[in-house]
Amino acid sequence: MSSMESKMQDSTIWWRGGVIYQIYPRSFMDSNGDGIGDLAGITEKLDYVASLGVDGIWLSPFFTSPMLDFGYDISDYRDVDPMFGTLDDFKALLARAHALGLKVMIDQVISHTSDQHPWFQESRQDRTNDKADWFVWADPKPDGTPPNNWLSIFGGSAWTFDSRRQQYYLHNFLKSQPDVNFHHPEARQAQLDNLRFWLELGVDGFRLDTVNFYFHDQELRDNPPVPAGEAKTLGAPDTNPYTWQRHVYDLSRPENLDFLKELRALMDEFPGTTTVGEIGDDNPLERMAEYTAGGDKLHMAYGFDLLNAPHSAGYIREVIERFQRLAGDAWPCWALSNHDVMRSATRWGADEDPVAYPKVALAMVLSLRGSVCLYQGEELGLPEAEVPFERIQDPYGKVLWPEFKGRDGCRTPMPWTHGEQGGFSSVEPWLPVEERHLPLAVANQQDDADSVLNATRAMLAFRRQHAALIEGEIRLVEVGEDLLGFLREADGERLLCVFNLTGEPRETPLPASVGEHATLLEGPGFRTSLEASQLILPAYQAAFISLD
Protein backbone atom coordinates (compact mmCIF):
# COMPACT_ATOMS: atom_id res chain seq x y z
CA MET A 1 0.00 0.00 0.00
CA SER A 2 1.38 3.43 -0.94
CA SER A 3 1.72 6.12 1.71
CA MET A 4 -0.94 8.12 -0.15
CA GLU A 5 -3.39 5.22 0.04
CA SER A 6 -2.45 4.68 3.65
CA LYS A 7 -3.20 8.32 4.44
CA MET A 8 -6.57 8.13 2.69
CA GLN A 9 -7.51 5.17 4.89
CA ASP A 10 -6.15 6.74 8.07
CA SER A 11 -8.37 9.73 8.76
CA THR A 12 -6.40 10.54 11.91
CA ILE A 13 -3.66 12.17 9.84
CA TRP A 14 -5.90 14.23 7.56
CA TRP A 15 -4.01 17.35 8.68
CA ARG A 16 -0.63 16.17 7.37
CA GLY A 17 -0.43 17.90 4.02
CA GLY A 18 -3.99 19.16 4.45
CA VAL A 19 -5.26 22.57 3.34
CA ILE A 20 -7.19 24.56 5.96
CA TYR A 21 -9.40 27.51 5.02
CA GLN A 22 -9.31 30.29 7.60
CA ILE A 23 -12.59 32.08 8.31
CA TYR A 24 -12.72 35.39 10.17
CA PRO A 25 -16.30 35.16 11.48
CA ARG A 26 -16.99 38.90 11.80
CA SER A 27 -16.37 39.35 8.08
CA PHE A 28 -17.48 36.17 6.34
CA MET A 29 -21.30 36.33 6.12
CA ASP A 30 -23.95 38.26 8.04
CA SER A 31 -27.13 36.16 8.30
CA ASN A 32 -29.21 38.43 10.54
CA GLY A 33 -28.65 41.91 9.11
CA ASP A 34 -26.67 43.53 11.93
CA GLY A 35 -23.57 44.23 9.85
CA ILE A 36 -21.46 41.57 11.59
CA GLY A 37 -20.75 38.08 10.32
CA ASP A 38 -21.99 35.17 12.42
CA LEU A 39 -21.97 31.39 12.78
CA ALA A 40 -25.21 30.90 10.87
CA GLY A 41 -23.72 32.91 8.02
CA ILE A 42 -20.68 30.64 7.95
CA THR A 43 -22.93 27.57 7.88
CA GLU A 44 -24.80 29.10 4.94
CA LYS A 45 -21.56 29.38 2.95
CA LEU A 46 -19.94 26.04 3.81
CA ASP A 47 -20.97 24.52 0.47
CA TYR A 48 -18.83 27.19 -1.21
CA VAL A 49 -15.88 26.39 1.06
CA ALA A 50 -16.23 22.67 0.33
CA SER A 51 -16.32 23.42 -3.42
CA LEU A 52 -12.77 24.79 -3.19
CA GLY A 53 -11.41 21.36 -2.35
CA VAL A 54 -9.94 22.20 1.06
CA ASP A 55 -9.73 19.69 3.91
CA GLY A 56 -11.07 21.80 6.73
CA ILE A 57 -11.76 25.21 8.19
CA TRP A 58 -10.22 27.26 10.98
CA LEU A 59 -12.53 29.69 12.75
CA SER A 60 -11.06 32.76 14.41
CA PRO A 61 -12.52 33.36 17.91
CA PHE A 62 -16.29 33.46 18.35
CA PHE A 63 -16.30 33.11 22.16
CA THR A 64 -17.83 35.49 24.70
CA SER A 65 -15.72 38.63 24.76
CA PRO A 66 -15.84 42.40 25.30
CA MET A 67 -14.30 42.53 21.78
CA LEU A 68 -11.58 45.03 22.62
CA ASP A 69 -9.30 42.84 20.48
CA PHE A 70 -12.16 41.38 18.45
CA GLY A 71 -12.46 38.05 20.23
CA TYR A 72 -8.82 37.50 21.13
CA ASP A 73 -9.78 38.74 24.61
CA ILE A 74 -11.98 35.96 25.95
CA SER A 75 -14.23 36.30 28.98
CA ASP A 76 -15.88 32.86 28.70
CA TYR A 77 -14.01 30.05 26.96
CA ARG A 78 -17.02 27.74 26.81
CA ASP A 79 -19.73 29.86 25.21
CA VAL A 80 -20.48 31.76 22.00
CA ASP A 81 -20.67 35.53 22.05
CA PRO A 82 -24.27 36.59 21.27
CA MET A 83 -22.87 38.67 18.41
CA PHE A 84 -22.08 35.41 16.60
CA GLY A 85 -25.05 33.33 17.74
CA THR A 86 -25.40 30.50 20.24
CA LEU A 87 -23.73 27.25 21.14
CA ASP A 88 -26.50 25.50 19.20
CA ASP A 89 -25.52 27.56 16.13
CA PHE A 90 -21.98 26.28 16.52
CA LYS A 91 -23.20 22.70 16.83
CA ALA A 92 -25.21 23.17 13.62
CA LEU A 93 -22.12 24.55 11.87
CA LEU A 94 -20.05 21.61 13.08
CA ALA A 95 -22.63 19.09 11.87
CA ARG A 96 -22.94 20.72 8.44
CA ALA A 97 -19.17 20.95 7.99
CA HIS A 98 -18.73 17.28 8.89
CA ALA A 99 -21.53 16.32 6.49
CA LEU A 100 -19.59 18.10 3.73
CA GLY A 101 -16.37 16.31 4.66
CA LEU A 102 -14.78 19.39 6.23
CA LYS A 103 -12.84 19.24 9.47
CA VAL A 104 -13.38 22.09 11.94
CA MET A 105 -10.55 23.74 13.83
CA ILE A 106 -11.18 26.62 16.23
CA ASP A 107 -8.91 29.31 17.63
CA GLN A 108 -7.82 28.91 21.21
CA VAL A 109 -6.38 31.92 23.00
CA ILE A 110 -5.12 30.50 26.26
CA SER A 111 -2.00 32.60 26.89
CA HIS A 112 -4.17 35.47 28.15
CA THR A 113 -7.78 36.24 29.00
CA SER A 114 -9.92 39.35 28.96
CA ASP A 115 -9.73 41.44 32.09
CA GLN A 116 -13.49 40.75 32.27
CA HIS A 117 -12.89 37.03 32.76
CA PRO A 118 -14.04 35.86 36.22
CA TRP A 119 -10.58 34.41 36.88
CA PHE A 120 -8.92 37.81 36.57
CA GLN A 121 -11.74 39.62 38.34
CA GLU A 122 -11.04 37.40 41.35
CA SER A 123 -7.26 37.47 41.00
CA ARG A 124 -7.02 41.26 41.11
CA GLN A 125 -9.00 41.63 44.35
CA ASP A 126 -6.11 40.88 46.70
CA ARG A 127 -2.95 38.79 47.05
CA THR A 128 -4.52 35.92 49.00
CA ASN A 129 -7.59 34.77 47.05
CA ASP A 130 -7.79 31.35 45.41
CA LYS A 131 -6.75 32.73 42.00
CA ALA A 132 -4.28 35.29 43.26
CA ASP A 133 -1.43 33.65 41.36
CA TRP A 134 -3.32 32.58 38.23
CA PHE A 135 -1.98 35.68 36.47
CA VAL A 136 1.48 37.23 36.35
CA TRP A 137 1.78 39.78 39.13
CA ALA A 138 4.94 41.57 40.26
CA ASP A 139 5.90 44.32 42.67
CA PRO A 140 7.02 47.69 41.33
CA LYS A 141 10.64 48.70 41.43
CA PRO A 142 11.46 50.91 44.45
CA ASP A 143 10.80 53.99 42.32
CA GLY A 144 7.33 52.72 41.36
CA THR A 145 8.21 51.87 37.77
CA PRO A 146 7.38 48.51 36.12
CA PRO A 147 9.29 45.39 37.16
CA ASN A 148 11.37 45.24 33.95
CA ASN A 149 11.68 46.49 30.37
CA TRP A 150 9.27 44.07 28.69
CA LEU A 151 7.06 45.70 26.05
CA SER A 152 3.56 45.07 24.77
CA ILE A 153 3.21 44.24 21.09
CA PHE A 154 0.41 46.82 20.98
CA GLY A 155 2.64 49.60 22.31
CA GLY A 156 4.10 50.75 25.61
CA SER A 157 5.05 48.71 28.66
CA ALA A 158 3.83 45.13 29.03
CA TRP A 159 2.95 45.98 32.63
CA THR A 160 -0.09 47.81 34.06
CA PHE A 161 -0.39 48.86 37.68
CA ASP A 162 -3.43 47.72 39.67
CA SER A 163 -4.30 49.82 42.71
CA ARG A 164 -6.04 47.01 44.61
CA ARG A 165 -3.02 44.74 44.82
CA GLN A 166 -0.46 47.54 44.55
CA GLN A 167 1.25 45.41 41.90
CA TYR A 168 1.75 45.31 38.19
CA TYR A 169 0.23 42.61 35.99
CA LEU A 170 1.75 41.38 32.74
CA HIS A 171 0.03 41.74 29.37
CA ASN A 172 1.89 41.02 26.14
CA PHE A 173 -0.93 42.65 24.20
CA LEU A 174 -3.62 45.12 25.35
CA LYS A 175 -3.77 46.04 29.03
CA SER A 176 -7.23 44.44 28.95
CA GLN A 177 -5.56 41.09 28.10
CA PRO A 178 -3.75 39.92 31.26
CA ASP A 179 -1.38 36.99 30.83
CA VAL A 180 -2.26 33.70 32.50
CA ASN A 181 0.49 32.39 34.79
CA PHE A 182 1.33 29.03 33.24
CA HIS A 183 3.80 28.35 36.02
CA HIS A 184 0.74 27.80 38.22
CA PRO A 185 -0.43 24.18 37.81
CA GLU A 186 -4.10 24.88 38.53
CA ALA A 187 -4.28 27.69 35.97
CA ARG A 188 -2.54 25.49 33.43
CA GLN A 189 -4.95 22.63 34.05
CA ALA A 190 -7.95 24.94 33.83
CA GLN A 191 -6.93 25.90 30.31
CA LEU A 192 -6.50 22.26 29.34
CA ASP A 193 -9.99 21.62 30.70
CA ASN A 194 -11.34 24.40 28.47
CA LEU A 195 -9.75 22.69 25.46
CA ARG A 196 -11.28 19.38 26.50
CA PHE A 197 -14.75 20.98 26.49
CA TRP A 198 -14.51 21.70 22.76
CA LEU A 199 -12.91 18.35 21.94
CA GLU A 200 -15.80 16.58 23.62
CA LEU A 201 -18.16 18.73 21.56
CA GLY A 202 -16.56 17.29 18.43
CA VAL A 203 -14.10 19.83 17.04
CA ASP A 204 -11.22 18.43 15.01
CA GLY A 205 -8.46 20.61 16.35
CA PHE A 206 -7.15 23.95 17.49
CA ARG A 207 -5.23 26.86 16.08
CA LEU A 208 -3.26 27.99 19.11
CA ASP A 209 -2.78 31.74 19.31
CA THR A 210 0.68 32.93 20.43
CA VAL A 211 1.68 29.39 21.37
CA ASN A 212 5.18 30.41 22.45
CA PHE A 213 3.93 33.09 24.86
CA TYR A 214 2.59 30.75 27.56
CA PHE A 215 5.54 30.98 29.96
CA HIS A 216 7.65 33.88 31.18
CA ASP A 217 10.98 34.06 32.97
CA GLN A 218 10.21 33.82 36.67
CA GLU A 219 13.21 36.01 37.53
CA LEU A 220 11.71 38.76 35.32
CA ARG A 221 15.06 39.57 33.73
CA ASP A 222 15.27 42.44 31.24
CA ASN A 223 15.31 41.62 27.54
CA PRO A 224 18.50 42.69 25.75
CA PRO A 225 18.34 45.09 22.77
CA VAL A 226 18.71 43.90 19.20
CA PRO A 227 22.39 44.56 18.39
CA ALA A 228 23.01 47.34 15.88
CA GLY A 229 22.91 46.05 12.33
CA GLU A 230 21.15 42.77 13.16
CA ALA A 231 17.83 41.89 11.55
CA LYS A 232 14.55 42.22 13.43
CA THR A 233 12.70 38.97 12.75
CA LEU A 234 9.50 39.14 14.81
CA GLY A 235 6.20 39.39 12.98
CA ALA A 236 5.64 43.05 13.88
CA PRO A 237 6.29 46.25 11.92
CA ASP A 238 9.76 47.78 12.30
CA THR A 239 8.12 51.01 13.50
CA ASN A 240 7.04 49.16 16.65
CA PRO A 241 9.64 49.42 19.48
CA TYR A 242 8.70 45.84 20.39
CA THR A 243 10.99 44.72 17.56
CA TRP A 244 13.94 46.55 19.10
CA GLN A 245 14.36 43.90 21.81
CA ARG A 246 15.57 40.32 21.64
CA HIS A 247 12.71 38.48 23.30
CA VAL A 248 14.74 36.14 25.45
CA TYR A 249 12.84 36.26 28.72
CA ASP A 250 9.21 37.13 27.96
CA LEU A 251 8.42 34.29 25.53
CA SER A 252 9.62 30.94 24.12
CA ARG A 253 10.77 29.76 27.51
CA PRO A 254 12.01 26.17 27.86
CA GLU A 255 9.17 25.23 30.25
CA ASN A 256 6.78 25.53 27.32
CA LEU A 257 7.98 22.25 25.85
CA ASP A 258 6.70 20.27 28.82
CA PHE A 259 3.31 21.98 28.60
CA LEU A 260 3.06 21.21 24.89
CA LYS A 261 3.60 17.56 25.78
CA GLU A 262 0.70 17.79 28.27
CA LEU A 263 -1.40 19.36 25.54
CA ARG A 264 -0.46 16.63 23.05
CA ALA A 265 -1.42 13.95 25.57
CA LEU A 266 -4.87 15.53 25.74
CA MET A 267 -5.17 15.66 21.94
CA ASP A 268 -4.14 12.02 21.68
CA GLU A 269 -7.24 11.08 23.70
CA PHE A 270 -9.24 12.26 20.67
CA PRO A 271 -7.82 10.49 17.59
CA GLY A 272 -7.95 12.54 14.40
CA THR A 273 -7.63 15.90 16.14
CA THR A 274 -4.74 18.25 15.49
CA THR A 275 -3.04 21.46 16.56
CA VAL A 276 -1.35 24.26 14.65
CA GLY A 277 0.53 26.81 16.69
CA GLU A 278 1.20 30.45 15.84
CA ILE A 279 4.82 31.38 16.53
CA GLY A 280 6.07 34.94 16.77
CA ASP A 281 9.71 34.63 17.73
CA ASP A 282 13.18 35.99 17.02
CA ASN A 283 14.00 32.58 15.53
CA PRO A 284 10.65 31.39 14.13
CA LEU A 285 11.79 28.46 11.98
CA GLU A 286 13.95 27.09 14.78
CA ARG A 287 11.00 27.34 17.16
CA MET A 288 8.65 25.76 14.61
CA ALA A 289 10.98 22.78 14.30
CA GLU A 290 11.42 22.50 18.07
CA TYR A 291 7.69 22.64 18.80
CA THR A 292 6.62 20.06 16.18
CA ALA A 293 9.49 17.54 16.27
CA GLY A 294 9.24 14.15 17.94
CA GLY A 295 5.50 13.56 17.60
CA ASP A 296 4.86 14.50 21.23
CA LYS A 297 4.16 18.24 21.06
CA LEU A 298 2.32 20.26 18.41
CA HIS A 299 1.24 18.58 15.18
CA MET A 300 2.02 21.69 13.11
CA ALA A 301 3.17 25.28 13.56
CA TYR A 302 3.62 28.40 11.49
CA GLY A 303 5.72 31.52 11.77
CA PHE A 304 5.81 34.78 9.85
CA ASP A 305 8.53 33.94 7.34
CA LEU A 306 6.07 33.94 4.43
CA LEU A 307 3.78 36.49 6.07
CA ASN A 308 6.20 39.39 5.76
CA ALA A 309 7.39 41.65 2.97
CA PRO A 310 10.22 39.82 1.12
CA HIS A 311 8.99 37.58 -1.68
CA SER A 312 11.81 37.02 -4.17
CA ALA A 313 12.69 33.53 -5.31
CA GLY A 314 15.97 33.88 -3.42
CA TYR A 315 14.22 34.74 -0.16
CA ILE A 316 11.76 31.84 -0.39
CA ARG A 317 14.65 29.53 -1.26
CA GLU A 318 16.46 30.65 1.88
CA VAL A 319 13.36 30.02 4.05
CA ILE A 320 12.96 26.49 2.65
CA GLU A 321 16.67 25.75 3.00
CA ARG A 322 16.78 26.99 6.60
CA PHE A 323 13.72 25.03 7.64
CA GLN A 324 14.99 21.85 5.97
CA ARG A 325 18.26 22.23 7.82
CA LEU A 326 16.41 22.38 11.12
CA ALA A 327 13.34 20.28 10.47
CA GLY A 328 14.08 16.62 11.08
CA ASP A 329 10.58 15.15 11.48
CA ALA A 330 8.99 18.54 12.24
CA TRP A 331 5.92 19.55 10.23
CA PRO A 332 5.26 23.13 9.09
CA CYS A 333 2.04 24.85 8.12
CA TRP A 334 2.58 27.58 5.53
CA ALA A 335 0.44 30.64 4.86
CA LEU A 336 0.76 33.73 2.67
CA SER A 337 -2.06 35.68 4.35
CA ASN A 338 -4.11 35.72 7.54
CA HIS A 339 -6.12 38.08 9.74
CA ASP A 340 -2.99 39.71 11.20
CA VAL A 341 -1.04 40.79 8.11
CA MET A 342 -1.54 42.75 4.91
CA ARG A 343 -3.05 40.55 2.18
CA SER A 344 -0.41 38.86 0.05
CA ALA A 345 -1.87 40.22 -3.21
CA THR A 346 -0.73 43.65 -1.95
CA ARG A 347 2.12 42.78 0.43
CA TRP A 348 3.92 40.67 -2.18
CA GLY A 349 2.06 41.53 -5.38
CA ALA A 350 1.44 45.29 -5.27
CA ASP A 351 3.65 45.88 -8.32
CA GLU A 352 2.69 42.66 -10.08
CA ASP A 353 -0.15 41.55 -12.34
CA PRO A 354 -3.24 41.50 -10.05
CA VAL A 355 -4.65 38.28 -11.57
CA ALA A 356 -1.61 36.30 -12.70
CA TYR A 357 0.53 36.92 -9.62
CA PRO A 358 -1.92 35.57 -7.00
CA LYS A 359 -2.30 32.40 -9.07
CA VAL A 360 1.41 31.58 -9.19
CA ALA A 361 1.94 32.60 -5.55
CA LEU A 362 -0.81 30.21 -4.43
CA ALA A 363 0.58 27.45 -6.66
CA MET A 364 3.95 27.93 -5.00
CA VAL A 365 2.72 27.73 -1.39
CA LEU A 366 0.47 24.77 -2.23
CA SER A 367 3.52 22.91 -3.52
CA LEU A 368 5.71 23.28 -0.41
CA ARG A 369 6.32 20.44 1.99
CA GLY A 370 3.84 20.89 4.81
CA SER A 371 0.23 21.84 5.38
CA VAL A 372 -1.28 25.12 4.17
CA CYS A 373 -3.67 27.71 5.59
CA LEU A 374 -5.67 29.63 2.98
CA TYR A 375 -7.21 32.88 4.25
CA GLN A 376 -10.74 33.84 3.22
CA GLY A 377 -10.65 35.95 0.03
CA GLU A 378 -7.14 34.84 -0.87
CA GLU A 379 -8.70 32.47 -3.38
CA LEU A 380 -10.21 35.57 -5.04
CA GLY A 381 -6.92 37.46 -5.24
CA LEU A 382 -8.26 40.22 -2.98
CA PRO A 383 -5.88 43.14 -2.44
CA GLU A 384 -5.52 44.86 0.93
CA ALA A 385 -8.49 47.15 1.59
CA GLU A 386 -8.07 50.84 2.27
CA VAL A 387 -9.87 51.71 5.51
CA PRO A 388 -10.12 55.43 6.33
CA PHE A 389 -8.88 56.46 9.77
CA GLU A 390 -12.39 57.29 10.98
CA ARG A 391 -13.46 53.68 10.27
CA ILE A 392 -10.42 52.01 11.85
CA GLN A 393 -11.46 49.45 14.49
CA ASP A 394 -8.17 47.71 15.29
CA PRO A 395 -6.56 49.00 18.52
CA TYR A 396 -3.15 48.11 17.09
CA GLY A 397 -3.74 50.48 14.16
CA LYS A 398 -5.02 53.30 16.35
CA VAL A 399 -1.82 53.27 18.41
CA LEU A 400 0.69 53.15 15.54
CA TRP A 401 -1.17 55.17 12.87
CA PRO A 402 -0.21 56.40 10.28
CA GLU A 403 3.06 54.48 9.81
CA PHE A 404 1.17 51.27 10.58
CA LYS A 405 -2.54 51.24 9.83
CA GLY A 406 -3.40 48.11 11.77
CA ARG A 407 -5.02 44.91 10.58
CA ASP A 408 -8.41 46.13 9.41
CA GLY A 409 -7.35 46.15 5.76
CA CYS A 410 -7.25 42.35 5.67
CA ARG A 411 -10.44 41.95 7.75
CA THR A 412 -13.02 43.75 5.61
CA PRO A 413 -16.14 41.82 4.53
CA MET A 414 -15.94 38.93 2.09
CA PRO A 415 -17.39 39.98 -1.31
CA TRP A 416 -19.98 37.45 -2.43
CA THR A 417 -21.67 39.51 -5.15
CA HIS A 418 -21.07 42.76 -7.02
CA GLY A 419 -24.19 44.23 -5.39
CA GLU A 420 -24.71 46.44 -2.37
CA GLN A 421 -22.38 45.60 0.55
CA GLY A 422 -20.92 42.84 -1.61
CA GLY A 423 -23.72 40.48 -0.63
CA PHE A 424 -22.18 40.27 2.85
CA SER A 425 -24.96 42.11 4.69
CA SER A 426 -28.17 44.05 4.12
CA VAL A 427 -26.82 46.97 6.18
CA GLU A 428 -23.58 48.94 6.50
CA PRO A 429 -21.05 46.44 7.90
CA TRP A 430 -18.69 46.85 10.84
CA LEU A 431 -15.86 47.56 8.40
CA PRO A 432 -16.51 49.08 4.97
CA VAL A 433 -16.69 46.86 1.90
CA GLU A 434 -13.73 47.68 -0.33
CA GLU A 435 -14.92 48.98 -3.72
CA ARG A 436 -12.00 47.27 -5.49
CA HIS A 437 -13.20 43.93 -4.10
CA LEU A 438 -16.62 44.05 -5.76
CA PRO A 439 -15.44 43.11 -9.30
CA LEU A 440 -13.57 40.20 -7.65
CA ALA A 441 -16.67 38.85 -5.86
CA VAL A 442 -17.34 35.13 -5.80
CA ALA A 443 -20.34 35.48 -8.14
CA ASN A 444 -18.20 37.31 -10.71
CA GLN A 445 -15.39 34.74 -10.65
CA GLN A 446 -17.50 31.60 -10.37
CA ASP A 447 -18.01 31.05 -14.10
CA ASP A 448 -14.82 32.69 -15.34
CA ALA A 449 -12.44 29.93 -16.36
CA ASP A 450 -9.45 32.28 -16.03
CA SER A 451 -10.33 33.65 -12.59
CA VAL A 452 -8.12 33.36 -9.52
CA LEU A 453 -10.96 31.43 -7.85
CA ASN A 454 -11.04 28.71 -10.47
CA ALA A 455 -7.24 28.62 -10.66
CA THR A 456 -7.24 27.98 -6.90
CA ARG A 457 -9.75 25.15 -7.30
CA ALA A 458 -7.68 23.66 -10.11
CA MET A 459 -4.47 23.83 -8.08
CA LEU A 460 -6.12 22.22 -5.06
CA ALA A 461 -7.45 19.42 -7.28
CA PHE A 462 -4.00 18.98 -8.83
CA ARG A 463 -2.42 18.80 -5.38
CA ARG A 464 -4.83 16.05 -4.30
CA GLN A 465 -3.83 13.94 -7.31
CA HIS A 466 -0.13 13.90 -6.40
CA ALA A 467 1.18 12.23 -3.27
CA ALA A 468 4.50 13.99 -3.79
CA LEU A 469 2.84 17.38 -3.23
CA ILE A 470 0.92 16.31 -0.13
CA GLU A 471 3.55 14.48 1.86
CA GLY A 472 6.68 14.14 -0.24
CA GLU A 473 10.17 15.16 0.72
CA ILE A 474 11.47 18.44 -0.70
CA ARG A 475 14.87 19.22 -2.18
CA LEU A 476 15.85 22.54 -3.68
CA VAL A 477 17.28 22.45 -7.18
CA GLU A 478 19.27 25.08 -9.08
CA VAL A 479 17.17 26.78 -11.76
CA GLY A 480 18.71 30.24 -11.80
CA GLU A 481 18.55 33.24 -9.51
CA ASP A 482 15.12 34.51 -10.63
CA LEU A 483 13.29 31.17 -10.47
CA LEU A 484 12.34 28.95 -7.56
CA GLY A 485 12.69 25.22 -8.09
CA PHE A 486 12.41 22.17 -5.90
CA LEU A 487 11.89 18.45 -6.18
CA ARG A 488 9.02 16.72 -4.35
CA GLU A 489 9.13 12.93 -4.03
CA ALA A 490 6.84 10.28 -2.47
CA ASP A 491 5.65 6.76 -3.35
CA GLY A 492 8.03 6.61 -6.30
CA GLU A 493 6.57 9.80 -7.77
CA ARG A 494 9.09 12.54 -8.49
CA LEU A 495 7.87 16.04 -9.37
CA LEU A 496 10.03 18.98 -10.32
CA CYS A 497 8.22 22.22 -9.43
CA VAL A 498 9.51 25.47 -10.92
CA PHE A 499 7.99 28.94 -10.37
CA ASN A 500 8.47 32.23 -12.14
CA LEU A 501 7.18 34.84 -9.68
CA THR A 502 8.34 37.71 -11.89
CA GLY A 503 6.64 39.71 -14.63
CA GLU A 504 9.29 38.71 -17.19
CA PRO A 505 9.64 35.44 -19.15
CA ARG A 506 12.40 33.16 -17.95
CA GLU A 507 14.17 30.08 -19.32
CA THR A 508 16.30 27.50 -17.59
CA PRO A 509 17.89 24.18 -18.54
CA LEU A 510 16.58 21.24 -16.57
CA PRO A 511 19.05 20.42 -13.80
CA ALA A 512 21.24 17.47 -14.71
CA SER A 513 20.38 15.90 -11.37
CA VAL A 514 16.75 15.28 -12.33
CA GLY A 515 17.53 12.57 -14.89
CA GLU A 516 16.52 12.06 -18.50
CA HIS A 517 12.83 11.15 -18.24
CA ALA A 518 11.02 14.46 -17.88
CA THR A 519 7.38 15.02 -18.82
CA LEU A 520 5.75 18.42 -18.48
CA LEU A 521 2.39 17.94 -16.82
CA GLU A 522 -0.56 20.00 -18.00
CA GLY A 523 -1.10 20.94 -14.41
CA PRO A 524 -3.55 23.57 -13.18
CA GLY A 525 -3.72 25.85 -16.21
CA PHE A 526 -0.20 27.27 -16.42
CA ARG A 527 1.40 27.99 -19.81
CA THR A 528 4.89 26.58 -19.87
CA SER A 529 6.86 24.52 -22.40
CA LEU A 530 9.74 22.09 -22.37
CA GLU A 531 11.92 22.07 -25.45
CA ALA A 532 15.09 19.98 -25.67
CA SER A 533 15.54 20.00 -21.88
CA GLN A 534 15.04 23.77 -21.83
CA LEU A 535 12.16 24.89 -19.61
CA ILE A 536 10.39 28.04 -20.81
CA LEU A 537 8.21 29.92 -18.34
CA PRO A 538 6.32 33.06 -19.38
CA ALA A 539 5.68 35.70 -16.69
CA TYR A 540 3.94 34.45 -13.53
CA GLN A 541 3.92 30.81 -14.52
CA ALA A 542 4.57 27.48 -12.80
CA ALA A 543 5.79 24.21 -14.24
CA PHE A 544 5.21 20.73 -12.85
CA ILE A 545 7.43 18.10 -14.44
CA SER A 546 7.08 14.39 -13.84
CA LEU A 547 10.41 12.63 -13.58
CA ASP A 548 9.02 9.07 -13.44
CA distance linking residue 208 with residue 212, whole number of Å: 9
**Active-site position among 47, 130, 269, 353:** 269
| CA atoms in the 13 A half-sphere facing the CB of 118 | 6
Q: Tell me, yes or no, if 504 is annotated catalytic.
A: no
CA distance linking residue 462 with residue 376, whole number of Å: 20
In 3D space, the residue among 521, 447, 455 whose CA is nearest the CA of residue 53 turns out to be 455
Number of C-beta neighbours around residue 115 at 10 A: 23
Q: Please answer whether residues 376 and 310 qualify as being in contact, where contact means their C-beta atoms are separated by less than 8 angstroms.
A: no
N residues, the chain: 548
**Residues whose CB falls within 8 Å of the CB of residue 46, separated by 6 or more in sequence, listed in order:** 57, 93, 96, 97, 100, 102
- DSSP 8-state symbol, 226: P
**Residues whose CB falls within 8 Å of the CB of residue 349, separated by 6 or more in sequence, listed in order:** 311, 357, 358, 361, 383
The 3-class secondary structure across 97-149, one letter per residue, is HHHCCCEEEEEECCCECCCCCHHHHHHCCCCCCCCCCCECEECCCCCCCCCCC
Q: Tell me, yes or no, if 193 is annotated catalytic.
A: no
Query: What are the DSSP calls for 455-475, one per residue?
Result: HHHHHHHHHHT-HHHHH-EEE
Cα 287 off chain centre by: 15
**Active-site position among 73, 179, 204, 209:** 209
- DSSP 8-state symbol, 488: E
CA distance linking residue 50 with residue 329, whole number of Å: 30
The catalytic site residues sit at 209, 269
